[in-house]
Amino acid sequence: GENVEQHPSTLSVQEGDSAVIKCTYSDSASNYFPWYKQELGKRPQLIIDIRSNVGEKKDQRIAVTLNKTAKHFSLHITETQPEDSAVYFCAAGGGSNYKLTFGKGTLLTVNP
């Protein structure tokens, strides 16, 4: 089955700096790579996703890049703000059963 590794497990940045979270996956059949944000005490919510036919996708301050050959994808957050503080999960999957395998999460802390 699919295996997703996520690094780092914790990340602390100063407000205004950039943050990068990296994930690798093992199953070359995976074709969908979402990123979820989970604020303390709340449910995970999708913030951005990318499909395997695209190398990069951007939405305002967040962007995701995908390298299919190396089987890794990354989340980039620019101009970080305190409200970006949360746990971020990457995931891989997208087969006919829509099953996703999640990474273990990254706790991002943005210090004012």
Partner 1 sequence: DVKVTQSSRYLVKRTGEKVFLECVQDMDHENMFWYRQDPGLGLRLIYFSYDVKMKEKGDIPEGYSVSREKKERFSLILESASTNQTSMYLCASITGTGGNEQFFGPGTRLTVL
Contact string (CB under 8 A) for partner 1, positions 18-37, x = contact = --------------x-x---
Tokens of 46: 């999708």
Termini Cα distance of the chain: 41
Residue 98 interacting with partner 1 (CB under 8 A): yes
| Residue that is written with structure tokens 């070359």 in the block | 28
Backbone angles phi, psi at 84, to 5 degrees: -80, -10
Contact string (CB under 8 A) for partner 1, positions 45-74, x = contact = xx--x-------------------------
Sole binder of partner 1 in the list 66, 105, 108, 110 (CB under 8 A): 105
Sole binder of partner 1 in the list 44, 64, 73, 108 (CB under 8 A): 44
- Give the binding range for partner 1 (CB under 8 A) out of 12-20, 40-48, 60-68, 74-82: 40-48
Q: How far is CA 16 from the centre of its chain?
A: 19
SS3 77: strand
Q: Which is nearer to partner 1, 62 or 94 (CB)?
A: 94
Helices and strands (H, E) in the chain, number of each type: 0, 11
